[in-house]
Amino acid sequence: MLDEYLAQDQVTEIYQAYLFSAEAHEGQHRVSGEAYIFHPLSVAQILTEMRMDHRSIIAALLHDVIEDTEHGIDTIKKKFGEEVATLVDGVSKLTHIKFESKAEAQAENFRKMMLAMVEDIRVILIKLADRLHNMRTLGVMRPDKRRRIALETLEIYAPIANRLGMNQMRLELEDLGFKAMYPMRSRILKENVRKARGNRKELINKLEQSIHTRLDELKLSGSIVGRQKHLYSIYKKMHDKKLSFNEVMDVYAIRIIVDSVDTCYRMLGAIHNLFTPVPGKFKDYIAIPKANGYQSLHTVLYTQYGVAIEVQIRTEDMDRVAEAGIAAHWLYKSGFEVTGNNAQVRAREWLRGVLEIQQHAGNSMEFLENVKIDLFPDEVYVFTPSGDIMVLPRGATAIDFAYAVHTDVGNQCVAVKINRRLMPLRTELYNGQTIEVITAPGAQANPSWLEFVKTAKARTNIRALLKGLQFDESVELGRRLLNRNLEAFGSSLEKISDSAIANALKEFNFQNFNDLCAEVGIGNHIPMMVARTLVGSSDLPESPDKKKGTSQRKASSRPLAIQGTEGAVVSFAKCCLPIPGDNIIGFISAGRGIVVHSQACKNLSDFKSKPEKWIDVEWEPDLKRDFSTYIRLMVRNKRGVLATIAAIISDLKSNILNVDIEERDGIHSSMTLTVEVKDRKHLARIMRRLKSIDMVDRIHRIRQ
């Protein structure tokens, strides 16, 4: 088969690689008992069927040499060249690094492979062929290992094959993974499909004959192929949509392959004249291809036999690309500037996105999590104001769209127009909408966006930006806390010597002082303990306060001033929502920094057992921001009551963030408002005005 498309010198080079691999793996056997060399040979065979270049096939023959034999990457490079060595290294696992867990090892190996894949896409093709052969021979493994490999295949490798448009490989990986993961479900479903096929065989033949007859009448040429939906696809549809087997419409489908795009649409018209199309089930993936480059017309039809059947119409070239994806018409050149089929172009676009995810991911586990999210694109198609089509995963929001346009657009997004109407940023997008993003130069990403964004690009960029912002805020707050606690010892950070700082860094195991300050700022280290270390307070006599058992925070001379602009490292407790004018107290919470409570908050009793985490705080004078709080009104059920209340609150320069209404006795309703105010005086003015309304019987501020 090799000499059908490769030059003789390339075939000879492949044979030399086989001899080297056979010698390197001499004496090694797989779990099944067969000689190990049969595995790399089988992987090379799969790539040969895909008509891959000779260096890919050589790398397939050598892909386990680094991991499982005494030969290193330098030997591969010397014998077979830099290019082959790079491919082999990209597929090889990290064997010389110890990881804390199997999950971390998997994530780090995955990151290594994906980065190698960005440089040379053949890395993933070799890995997919390797995984496919392993899945074909999985039956000899222990049940627990079999399930682990099957799950990894279903969660990572089959979706990657799908993302690269390699449908034939994806389907086999999914069915093999399904069989290994859920053997009983697979067996039962296979039996049901077999029975249904027997019942419907005659029906499918009649449908194909009807279509042939109509095509002959219209003088349209095309081949008709009946196909059975794969087991895992049926299972996923039943599982996700809560359907019984009999409710799955497209267990069987008919594929019509024609010579041109124009014939595809003429064929669609002929089919719709022959059978009744099911409303809402037509999809034009020719005009708007899938994210992996797949193109075809899909429609579901009601037949005269009372059975719905799916019909796919595509050209011969589209069919080849649909089955082989980036491997169709394989022509490799290094780098991204390759002209290839639609699947190859889309694959390169996706790889650029993977590279961006890697650059902003905090660690391998986060990278793996975000790539997994990115691997399941059930797409929606939306338009930019200039008419360009953008493809996003189903459930994506306006923020996802903003980041898809450009990272800076997402970071500076303040509002969005959907079909020329202003809409909330968390609005879910649907097919055909036109999206316009409004930005402001000084705007920044909001942490709450992480609750609703769907794309990995948006999630990683928001996290990266917030990490940078939070670090700076944490360092600043940590310095303020240390200075405040150092006052108890008559010192400050300016007076602390470099040697004292070096000792503290060694004591707390940090590389630089900003990192230590950041940990203090987010509450992972108690500021008094760090302050004691900085001044060498371990040699000082024990303070009288400590002997009495009172809180060590009393050693500080003045409370910490709360500005309200500290960012994520200072938050206000949701249970009491304190506002300027309230007596407040701070609680140092690990990972969150300082959580500010009202001193009247009923939840403070829960913290009495941790006095070392309390901190005296006070409001900074002349605060310039608004703060949220709750008020509850008992109102009469009259028309316009909410509008009247909202108008008064707006007139008094306040804003309603949330409204919760609960009917009480048919005459009255309880209305809980979350409002923004500047301080207690501002809140008092609002409550006085609201109390003067006839429709309001009672009003009070609440602490939930």
What the block records as the tokens of 133 is 């052969």
E strands, 173-284, in order: 223-228, 252-258, 276-277, 283-284
Of 469, 641, 633, 629, the C-alpha closest to 565 is 469
Give Cβ neighbours of residue 48 (< 8 Å, ≥ 6 apart): 1, 2, 57
The three-state secondary structure class of 663 is strand
Which residues, 6 or more positions from 548, have their beta carbon under 8 angstroms from its beta carbon?
A: none
Tokens of 498: 């470099």
Residues in the chain, how many? 704
C-alpha neighbours within 13 Å on the C-beta side of residue 326: 28
Question: Is 284 within 8 Å of 297 (Cβ atoms)?
Answer: yes
The one-letter amino acid at 113: M
CB 93 within 8 A of CB 109: yes
Active site residue 67: yes
Distance CA 681, CA 282 (A): 61
Q: Cβ contacts of residue 588 below 8 Å, gap of 6+?
A: 523, 526, 527, 594, 613, 614, 615
Residue 651 bears catalytic tag: no
* Token pair listed for 503: 């000792």
Q: Is 476 helix (H, G, I), strand (E, B) or coil?
A: helix
Q: What's 26's DSSP letter?
A: T
- How far is residue 603 CA from its own chain's centroid? 35
Buried b (16+ CB within 10 A) or exposed e, 318-345: bbbbbbbbbbbebeeeeeeeeebbbbbb
Distance CA(491)–CA(504), nearest Å, equals: 15
Number of neighbouring beta carbons within 10 Å of residue 402: 27
Spot the catalytic one: 26, 67, 191, 378: 67
Nearest CA among 423, 404, 314 for reference residue 356:
404
3-state helix, strand, coil in the chain (%, to 5): 55, 15, 30
The DSSP letter of residue 325 is G
Q: Work out the number of other CB atoms within 10 angstroms of the CB of residue 105.
A: 17
Q: Which residues contact 283 (CB under 8 A, 6 or more apart)?
A: 297, 298, 299
- What is the rounded distance in angstroms from the CA atom of residue 321 to the CA atom of residue 170? 13
Which of 53, 68, 155, 620 does the annotation list as catalytic? 68
Cα of first residue to Cα of last residue in the chain, in angstroms, is 75
Angle, helix 54-62 to helix 73-80, in steps of 10 degrees: 150
Pairwise CA distance, residues 59 & 56, whole Å: 5
**Mind telling me the catalytic residues?**
67-68
